[in-house]
Amino acid sequence: MARPPQVAYWLEEAPPALATLALALQQIAIQAIYLILPGLVARGFGLLALDVVNFLSLSVVAVALAGLLQALPRGPLGSGYPVASIPSPVFVAVYLLAAPGANLVVAGTLALVTGLVGLVLALQLKRMQAVVPTEVAGVVVFLIGISLLPRAFESLVGPSAAGRDAVLGLATLGVMIVLALVGAGVARFAVLIGAVLGTLAALATGIGLAPDTELLSHADWFALPRPELPSPDAFDASILPAFGLALLASFASWAGDLVAFQRAADSGWRRPDTPPIRRGLIAQSLAMSLAGLFGGMVPGTSSACVGLSIGTRILARRVTVLAALLLLLLACCPKLMALVVLLPAPVEAAMLGYVCCFMLATGCQLMSSRMLDARRTFTVGLGITAGMAALLDLPFFHGGLARMLAAPVTAGAALAVALNLVTAPLISRRAGFTLKLDAVMPRTIDEQVEALGGSWGARRETMQRLGHALLEVAEVLAARGVPQMQVQARHADDVVEAIVTWSGDSLPDAPGRPQAADLEGSEKAQEAFTLWLVSRLADEIQQRVNQGQAEIRLRFED
């Protein structure tokens, strides 16, 4: 990874202690917005007030553990990225779907099993990337941002909102934007400063904190969360498919957040780097199993916190680690946690609006990171359309689909994933041409490769690597006196392959550790050095000779 010049603090860098604390509190303020979700789930299961608080505390513990696991820089799990978590919005519909005929022990048992399934799927990330490519992950991130906007608008102009609510919310958002545009050190704390000023203004104008006297009156100042352990007798196979579908949508969301952060943290980013994403999915799946083990709500990566990190240009790992440790302390203080949840509605709306801007922009960047050919255009366009239709609560989504598919994220993700899989066999494209090894050969290669890349919608960087590799092979063959070579190229399933054949002997194998002296050595040493250059350009290279025809096969991940 290459450090982007515009980043204030990179992964390993340490902001000052007070700044780290303020940044951690700012992140917790964003996470606190989503703590309403465990409360909705708990009420859906008909829990009493004290049990609601306990479930909320257990969910906060799960969120904190997920953040700590995700930030691990080494080992078999953890992306090493400071990607914070929240109670998963994707699983809310699944919990409520299970609520009428089950209890939280049943839901916890299914969450435990689903997390174990996620561990297995995460190990198959190469196949998962074919299911959830970058543009599909962009659709999910975009729809998460879109799905948060109605709540913000409802807080400002909804039936229960007054005119002063809208004024306060827009003014608070304006302060955050101005602070972000001012730059310097103030921009890093734009959300925290805006939230504090907005809350003070709300109290001064009589808007006050969000009313929930029942939660406050039953919450203790200090109490360890009481775990709700799973039971084999509580396993309900009829609800497991719903958890499985939510897991698939969550994988798309988690991968989207990880790719978005990875893209922001690496100035040389070209395509998703698989190992950190795999470890990140493993960490998130393990956190899901742990949440099911002690009875908390399933955690999911926070696109809002990723957007906050990108917006403030603070990518330091220790900010998320400190925030997770503070959340563990907060989980032992239910009354204080309730106060964090009960922010004034206009202030909460302003915070959502601020981070949604970065989430929508990040989703658009991911969707357009590759050229949108016809297949990707339909996948992205119809995925967003399905999400927007679910958001508008059209009759088909209101009564024609399962409840878990009625949410914008799950509806859009399910359709985008399905279209990506169904249309994959339809776009295997092939092309062949004969390349004369003469003086105009370099220009011919450029023209052929550019034409193929334009018709296939492949990444420009991928086709440039293909062109450079063909040029290296062609120059070696021209030096041998070979008059021409045949090229057969194929593009399918995010892979570009090229098979080069010619009459004569194969090229020597690439050396494991080439030396600069090879460039002035024997002809064989020079050819071996050239093949080493080709192996650096291609993701996979194979050679063989068949009936006097030598062949080299090049494979490039797109």
Q: Which of 106, 104, 99 shows the shortest CA–CA distance to 52?
A: 104
Q: Which of 119, 406, 105, 93 shows the shortest CA–CA distance to 236?
A: 105
For 75, other C-beta atoms within 10 Å of its C-beta total: 11
Lowest mean pLDDT among 92-101, 342-351, 369-378: 92-101
Rounded CA Rg of the chain? 27
202 φ, ψ to 5°?
-65, -45
Grade residue 400 by pLDDT with cuts at 50, 70 and 90: very low
| pLDDT of 514 strictly over 80 | no
Whole-model pTM?
0.62
pLDDT at 55: 86
Domains of the chain (ranges, CATH numbers):
17-222+232-424 (no CATH), 428-557 (3.30.565.10)
Residue scoring higher pLDDT (458 or 58): 58
| pLDDT of 462 strictly over 90 | no
Condensed to tens digits (0 to 9), the pLDDT of residues 215-264 reads: 566 667 887 888 888 777 767 776 777 687 778 777 877 887 888 888 88
Edge-to-edge strand ranges of the sheet holding 549-557: 429-436, 484-492, 495-503, 549-557, 540-546
Q: How far apart are CA 60 and CA 63, in angstroms?
A: 5
Q: How far apart are CA 453 and CA 465, in angstroms?
A: 11
Grade residue 211 by pLDDT with cuts at 50, 70 and 90: low
Instruction: Report the chain's mean pLDDT, rounded to a whole number.
Output: 80
Q: Which two tokens stand for residue 304?
A: 């809002």
Grade residue 399 by pLDDT with cuts at 50, 70 and 90: low
Q: How far apart are CA 143 and CA 252, in angstroms?
A: 11
Which residues have a Cβ under 8 Å from the Cβ of 4 and sit 6 or more positions away? Answer: 264, 265, 266, 267
SS (H, E, C) 488-546: EEEEECCEEEEEEEEECCCCCCCCCCCCHHHHHCCHHHHHHHHHHHHHHHCCEEEEEEE
Condensed to tens digits (0 to 9), the pLDDT of residues 12-34 reads: 888 888 888 888 888 887 787 77
From the number of C-beta atoms within 10 Å of its C-beta (0-12, 13-18, 19+), residue 182 rates as exposed
